[in-house]
């Protein structure tokens, strides 16, 4: 007999308790060798004043068990509450988010019968770092952080996944025509890793046309790998296009912990009415079983679930006159899955799961020769009708000590020297100083020492200008570590 494995279970908020109860009932009916340790996170914890939504006792259970099955959690709007989901993913190092979006036609209505795609999304970085600032009266800023190891790990995971599950193609989606450093790194890393998997086709699409294709011709996609925010948006589109957000599960995988949840949220509009579709969390639970090396149990449950869909026993979100046989609530749907635990789907693909989680070797650290070559000084400035020529002259007066003003931009567009009078100017200015000759040619800029930057800031401050932040300009093995201004 297999030893029982303990997993943490959070029932969640809204429809969470109903769909979690349903999922656990099916796991138990299938005799899965699991023990459930229930934890309270989310709304109840927020109400008790735990602003993270995760009390200490819950952390202890999660960290001990390393695997969490989680119902959806309501994130209160505003008020300084942090999203429990984002906190869990980041604190536990769950770098990969895997969402399969498949249509189940002809049993569940979908305009895309052949759709069967998987979105593998980077789960810890990008704009989800949540580092945001208001820096002037008019301007707010969010930091988009993308690391080379983070990128390499998710891309390698996507290729390994595609290989393990017999997929044919991996599509990378970025917006590197605009974000040349962050998204550019993602695209370049994808191109560097792809040749290691010669049996798989690889391609890159700009995220906007890529997302449009997911909506219009999802059957042309196989495995998609992308950054955090794009992946979040894309997977809801894909889940909805496949039939319902209520059908898709999501696995969050880290090196030594994992969390499984439905793609959808806590659906407060239908909570407590026994109408929610438990399928998303159930599918996530089957992903969890595979992760735990219990693939045969996953297969049995997934097949019973497919039989239920095939028999037309549908919850309200997927019920369609003429296709469905019976409209049922959460409890009756769950009973129907349990009744079919030893049945094999007739027409829908019979699933077979391998008993193995995907493993990758995490990216090693690298060391390149790093040199400071200049500094971008950001100002909050609204004087002289925001005339860039007035500001430019004041900034040039601070030249010296090996640093020279090279340009001023406003919202990324060069406005000095030789800006266009038509360019709109906000109160947020970026003033680029480069070392050595400095003028214009960033790549030819000379080396700068940090004290030179400090003295420059002092000169700018003494000129009566308000410095709100600085960004250092580096080269790495001689390659620029910063973008040029538009028009530079």
Q: Output the smallest distance, CB 246 to ligand NAD, in A.
A: 3
Minimum CB distance to ligand NAD smaller for 280 or for 435: 280
- Quote the crossing angle between the two packed helices 228-242 and 207-216, to the nearest 10°: 10
Q: Output the smallest distance, CB 317 to ligand NAD, in A.
A: 4
Residue 322 CB-density burial (10 A; 0-12 exposed, 13-18 middle, 19+ buried): exposed
Rounded (5°) CA angle 395-401-403: 55
Q: Output the smallest distance, CB 400 to ligand NAD, in A.
A: 52
Minimum CB distance to ligand NAD smaller for 85 or for 174: 85
Q: Output the smallest distance, CB 226 to ligand NAD, in A.
A: 18
Taking CB under 6 A as the binding criterion, the range among 136-144, 263-271, 286-294, 382-390 that sits at the site for ligand NAD is 263-271
Within 303-362, which residues bind ligand NAD (CB under 6 A)? 317
Minimum CB distance to ligand NAD smaller for 277 or for 324: 277
Minimum CB distance to ligand NAD smaller for 53 or for 435: 53
Cis before 464 (ω within 30): no
Answer whether 355's CB lies under 8 Å from 294's CB: yes
Answer whether 252's CB lies under 8 Å from 259's CB: yes
Q: What mask, x for binding ligand NAD by CB under 6 A, covers residues 199 to 238?
A: ----------------------------------------
Within 28-87, which residues bind ligand NAD (CB under 6 A)? 72-75, 85
Distance set, CA 119 to CA 123, 170, 216, 356 (Å) = 12, 10, 16, 19
Q: Does 264 bind ligand NAD (CB under 6 A)?
A: yes
- CA dist 278 and 280 (Å) reads 6
246's CB contacts (< 8 A; 6+ apart) are: 262, 264, 276, 277, 279, 280, 315, 317, 318
Q: Which of 54, 170, 211, 267 is the binder for ligand NAD (CB under 6 A)?
A: 267
Minimum CB distance to ligand NAD smaller for 123 or for 153: 123
Minimum CB distance to ligand NAD smaller for 283 or for 398: 283
Closest residue by beta carbon to ligand NAD = 265
Q: Output the smallest distance, CB 43 to ligand NAD, in A.
A: 9
Backbone angles phi, psi at 393, to 5 degrees: -65, -40
3-state secondary structure 178-238: CCCCHHHHHHHHHHHHHHHCCCCEEEEEEHHHHHHHHHHCHHHCCEEEECHHHHHHHHHHH
Within 243-262, which residues bind ligand NAD (CB under 6 A)? 245-246, 261
Minimum CB distance to ligand NAD smaller for 71 or for 392: 71
Residue 314 forms beta bridges with which residues? Answer: 327
Rg of the chain, C-alpha, whole Å: 26
**Which positions touch ligand NAD (CB under 6 A)?**
15, 72-75, 85, 245-246, 261, 264-270, 276-277, 280, 317
């Amino acid at each position: 007999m297999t030893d029982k494995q303990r997993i943490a279970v959070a029932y969640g908020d809204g429809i969470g308790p109903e769909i979690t109860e349903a999922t656990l009932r099916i796991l138990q009916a299938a005799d899965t060798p699991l023990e459930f340790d229930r934890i309270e996170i989310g709304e109840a914890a927020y109400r008790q004043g735990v602003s993270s939504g995760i009390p200490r006792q819950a952390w202890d259970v999660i960290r001990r068990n390393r695997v969490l099955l989680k119902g959806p959690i309501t994130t209160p709007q505003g008020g300084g509450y942090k999203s429990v989901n984002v906190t869990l993913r980041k604190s536990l190092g769950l770098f990969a988010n895997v969402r399969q979006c498949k249509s189940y036609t002809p049993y569940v209505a979908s305009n895309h019968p052949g759709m069967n795609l998987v979105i593998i999304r980077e789960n810890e970085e990008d704009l989800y770092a949540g580092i945001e600032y208001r820096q002037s009266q008019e301007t707010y800023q969010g930091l988009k952080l993308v690391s080379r190891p983070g990128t390499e790990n998710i891309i390698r995971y996507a290729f390994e996944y595609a290989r393990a599950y017999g997929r044919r193609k991996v599509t990378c989606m970025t917006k590197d025509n605009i974000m040349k450093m962050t998204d550019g790194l993602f695209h370049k890393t994808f191109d560097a890793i792809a040749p290691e998997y010669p049996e798989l086709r690889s391609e890159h699409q700009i995220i906007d046309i890529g997302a449009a294709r997911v909506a219009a011709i999802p059957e042309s996609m196989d495995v998609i790998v992308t950054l955090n925010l794009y992946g979040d948006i894309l997977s809801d589109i894909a889940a909805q296009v496949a039939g319902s957000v209520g059908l898709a599960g999501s696995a969050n995988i880290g090196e030594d912990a994992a969390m499984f949840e439905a793609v959808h949220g806590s659906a407060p509009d239908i909570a407590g009415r026994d109408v929610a579709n438990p399928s998303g969390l159930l599918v996530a639970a089957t992903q969890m079983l595979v992760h735990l090396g219990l693939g045969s149990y996953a297969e049995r449950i997934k097949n019973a679930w497919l039989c239920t869909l095939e028999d037309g026993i549908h919850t309200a979100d997927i019920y369609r006159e003429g296709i469905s046989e019976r409209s049922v609530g959460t409890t009756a749907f769950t009973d129907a899955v349990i009744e079919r635990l030893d049945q094999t789907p007739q027409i829908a693909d019979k699933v077979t799961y391998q008993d193995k989680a995907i493993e990758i070797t995490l990216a090693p650290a690298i060391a390149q020769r790093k040199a400071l070559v200049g500094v971008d000084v950001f100002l909050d400035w609204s004087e002289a009708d925001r005339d860039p020529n007035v500001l430019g002259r004041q900034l040039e007066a601070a030249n010296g000590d090996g640093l020279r003003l090279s340009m001023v931009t406003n919202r990324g567009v060069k406005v000095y020297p030789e800006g266009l009078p038509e360019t709109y100017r906000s109160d947020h200015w970026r003033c680029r100083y480069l070392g050595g000759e400095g003028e214009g040619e960033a790549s030819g800029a000379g080396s700068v020492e940090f004290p030179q930057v400090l003295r420059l800031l002092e000169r700018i401050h003494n000129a009566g200008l308000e410095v709100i932040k600085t960004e250092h300009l580096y080269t790495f093995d001689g390659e620029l570590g910063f973008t040029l201004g538009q028009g530079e």
